[in-house]
Amino acid sequence: MALSFSCYASLKSQPQGQTKISSNNNKKCLQRVKDLINSVGVPSITSSPHDSLQRGNWVKLICGASFEDVVDVRNLSLVYTLAGVDCIDCAADAAVVNAVNEGIEAAREIVPLRRPWVMISVNDDEDLHFRKAEFDPNDCPLDCSRPCEIVCPANAISLEGTPSALKGGVITERCYGCGRCFPVCPYDRIRAITYVRDASATAELLRREDVDAVEIHTNGRQTMLFEELWNGLGDSLGYLRLVAISLPHIGDSTISSMNMMYSLMQPNLRCFNLWQLDGRPMSGDIGRGATREAIAFAVHIAADKDRPPGFLQLAGGTNAHTVDGLKRVGLFQATTLSMNSKDEMSMVGSHSSPLAVIGGVAYGGYARKIVGKVLNSMQSKHGLALYRALSGASSGGTYRSPHFGWNCQML
């Protein structure tokens, strides 16, 4: 799987009044998707996610730790499985996990790609990724220009004016807690509701055959709550292929915090582990500058020979400029660093071929943004989601579906 990708899916609406298309048209649509994937040569048809981590090719789609719109999650999973991602990271919720797996299987019915790993994200304490915005529209002045609605990147705020009050508010399952609506409200009406995922419910999800990995979000400043969660996951950890720890850069104490967590995990760690370096959380859709913190974080950790074992992966502000940024600092698919090449070689155990210093990149807001317009357009124009259109089309029947054109470019 290439480390960076851009994809663009275009829609051509059916002629006015035509709401059904024939199975012939559906077959043509699917053939175009197959042809495109074959011509691009998505390597994940055969290579494993673990190979990608070793080679520095790993790409993870972040659906969002708090994003629970199952239709969008299914569609994102379908699109990005076709694009060849190695892992799909989603909310630790059974319905969301089902949606991810349905999207993956719908994609694999179209093209026999290998299955990406499914990861669920949990937290050990209050965390930006685990919160929802909330307000009572009855408290909003009628003449408010509703900047909250405009600024929300997830279309998670929907308001309608009536003569006496505003109706609507935050669509909870779509809110992923980015926080952009909080400062723009001129009347300070929006609150953040934070939550912590329950360890026993998480353990139950981890025992499922269709869940491969867990990601623990931690602030890295204390390890007591991390230890509590880790111990609470108990034997469910034995079912996993990968454990990821997502943490922000906390200056000089970052490495010692990572080592502390690694020593807590080690006795029960039966699979690969990964450090998700969360540069600038939930900001990849903002633009070029957002990726700088993730690159700087990666440089800092990669250069430190005292870091604990585990793959390194960027997140937080990652977007179309991240790979260029990694190339500029000499970290894109690099297998050694001049200052500690021996340590690089022993980073995740003994392997016959050199390992990439940086295993890969996770894309969240940016990945959702570049396909979101298309998905929204399909739902508003046709009322049916891509998932149903494509998965249903594969059986050859007659379906109400838009004409789907797809152009995916691997860099």
Closest to ligand SF4 by CB, 189 or 300: 189
Q: Is 175 near ligand SF4 (CB under 6 A)?
A: yes
Binding ligand SF4 (rule: CB under 6 A), the pick from 82, 87, 133, 362 is 133
Q: Is 187 near ligand SF4 (CB under 6 A)?
A: yes
DSSP assignment string, 342-408: HHHHTTTS--SSPPPSS-EEEESHHHHHHHHHHHHHHHHHHSS-HHHHHHHHTTT--B---EEEEEE
Beta carbons of 311 and 348 less than 8 angstroms apart: yes
Partners of 134 in the β-ladder: 191
Binding ligand SF4 (rule: CB under 6 A), the pick from 178, 216, 393, 408 is 178
State in Å, rounded, how far the first CA of the chain is from the last one: 10
Phi-psi region of 170 (alpha: psi -120 to 50; beta: other; left: phi over 0): beta
Q: How far apart are CA 132 and CA 139, in angstroms?
A: 18
Question: Least CB distance from residue 183 to ligand SF4, whole Å?
Answer: 10
Question: Least CB distance from residue 162 to ligand SF4, whole Å?
Answer: 13
Closest to ligand SF4 by CB, 36 or 185: 185
One symbol per residue from 310 to 339: x for binding ligand SF4 (CB under 6 A), - otherwise; what is it? ------------------------------
Binding ligand SF4 (rule: CB under 6 A), the pick from 32, 114, 189, 300 is 189
Q: Is 130 near ligand SF4 (CB under 6 A)?
A: no
Q: Is 62 near ligand SF4 (CB under 6 A)?
A: no
Closest to ligand SF4 by CB, 178 or 244: 178
Question: Least CB distance from residue 213 to ligand SF4, whole Å?
Answer: 25
Q: How far apart are CA 364 and CA 368, in angstroms?
A: 6
Question: Least CB distance from residue 137 to ligand SF4, whole Å?
Answer: 6
Q: Is 179 near ligand SF4 (CB under 6 A)?
A: yes
- The SS3 assignment for 212 reads coil
Binding segment (CB under 6 A) for ligand SF4, from list 12-20, 153-161, 196-204, 255-263: 153-161
Task: Write out the two tokens for 337.
Answer: 């660093």
* Count of residues that interact with ligand SF4, criterion CB under 6 A: 25
Beta carbons of 333 and 356 less than 8 angstroms apart: yes
Rounded to 10 deg, the angle between the 365-382 and 386-393 helix axes is: 80
Binding ligand SF4 (rule: CB under 6 A), the pick from 85, 92, 154, 206 is 154
Binding segment (CB under 6 A) for ligand SF4, from list 14-22, 89-97, 169-177, 338-346: 169-177
Q: Is 73 near ligand SF4 (CB under 6 A)?
A: no
Nearest to 28 by CA among 408, 385, 401, 383: 401
Nearest to 230 by CA among 157, 144, 122: 122
- In the complex, which residues of this chain contact ligand SF4 (CB under 6 A)? 133, 135, 140, 144, 146-148, 151-152, 154, 156-157, 159, 170, 175-181, 185, 187, 189-190
